[in-house]
Chains A and B, each alone.
Chain A
Amino acid sequence: MNVRATALLVRRLVALTVLVGLWEVLARFGVINPFYVPPPSKVAATLFTLFADGEIWTHIEATFDAALLGLALGVIVGAVLGAAAALLPYVGEILDPVMTVLNAVPRIILAPLFVIWFGIGIASKVAVTFILIAVLFFFTVYSGIKEVDQRLVDRVRTLGGGRAILLREVYLPAVTAWALSQLKVAVGFAFTGAVVGEFVASSRGLGYLLSFAQSTFNASLTLALLVLIMVFVFLLFALAGRLEKRLLRWR
């Protein structure tokens, strides 16, 4: 890390510390009502208790299972459908309008329906995550293939390349680049889907805990869970960013 980057990091950490410190002081002295906005120390203590009990792990596991399973299925199915739509005109003319509508509506509204269809277990959460990501990846791959640089296609053709070569040398790398740049968005979507799915109806998971905290008016538990979810998404973001940087060295 160079000096400028370090300096930037320091400035940001200072800003964060000042904000959290101010919050702590204001809540302690009753300037803001600690019932609604508990001080950071209380939120931290709640977080600590969650982990000390050990019970939080089953909830974390439930959310991660749903998020990652939905992410994997969504990426695979979305990519396959996107490729089919781009390469086979008959598939494209049917899927294009369907996906466009699904893309336009907030797909999260399907969550209650999925609970009715698939029950309050993991299946309904996977379904919500899946639908969020499958549509995203459909368009990633669909437009990725359609908007491939025609000059590259022509170049490979004039060098004697056929369909298989074009797919390997041009389409696959071009689409991979697009897909990797969407992976961060997809990670965010995966947690949105899983947590909201749990929020609607479930017996386990971080979304379930959130719903419980809300119904008991427990602001400090709510904040602790929000912090936890943000940390997880942030970590997966960093992981996706690493992967992107590594695989897209040529950029």
Chain B
Amino acid sequence: MSLEVDVDHVRDPFRLAARFTSAPGLTALFGRSGSGKTTLVDIVGGLIRPDRGRVAIDGHVLVDTEHGVFVPKHRRRIGYVFQDSRLFPHLSVRKNLLYGRRFATSSGAADDLPSVVELLGIGALLDRPPGSLSGGETQRVAIGRALLAHPRLLLMDEPLASLDEARRAEILPYIERLRDEAGVPIVYVSHSVAEVARLATTVVVLSEGKVTAVGPVLDILPLADTDDGGGVLDATVARHDEPFHLTVLASAAGELQVPRLTAAVGTHVRAYIRARDVMLSLRPPEDISALNVLPGRVVTIVASPNGAHADVRLDCNGATLMARLTVKSVQRLDLAPDRPVFAVIKSVSFERN
């Protein structure tokens, strides 16, 4: 699947001018609120008609203003999971799930209700009214409803934004299964680095209506302009250090020791290391409590606009890490591109992949 988007849309004072092509898997539209993410997915979903541009899936044109093409949303076969879920209040969960099937024209609309219900763990909810569901249950039903309409693309607009931390943790594994098992390409809108780091295959970074970066998540996320920047490491579980309740991970950058994970040896995990959790040292630090010290090399140093701190990008044997330091520290250590340093990692968040 490839989604091609090249659109301009102006609603004063907001101006969206976005073009990107997405790869299979989960494409994250990432950016601060107000950067145009929702407008962009609304254009793909057919809820907004862009002023100018072209949208196509696998060469199948949905919008082409030059040639007067605009496929209405009910003929696009694009599933849309809204931030506010939008379940139909007058229909039971089961009827909500089956709503799209009434209008499906393809013969592919076989009885796949059981598999979707199983995938999302909503079997016990089928006969309940949507009003009685919790936030997490509501969003799972909304995802199932979109899936059962047999979309060729699934749009998810911050599906977790209205949920608390516990509910998010409840839904994230289902979205991962969706990405890995359902075989439907997903465009996922988010402003959360942690969600994008965990879920995305490809990242499209939006800033003030413009696409500022597109690429694989490991390359793009460290560049993303966020308050909460960081680096992503692909790693595998090497062994468990039972006496100390630790797990040792192997990554391109080196070994990492982390609190005991439940994952089996050999499991692929994705580690997200926030820039503010990384300290730098010019010499290998000794006699410190931090367990994880990775050697690397400074690539770039970017000072914040107010001059208080600087984001240092490191190359640790091919893997990218970010460190957020004060400008004073940068000067004190005399940091400059290509300088070898040691990254001291205070904490790591791990996402099973």
A and B co-occur in one complex: no
Q: Which residues of B contact A (CB under 8 A)?
A: none
Q: Which residues of A contact B (CB under 8 A)?
A: none
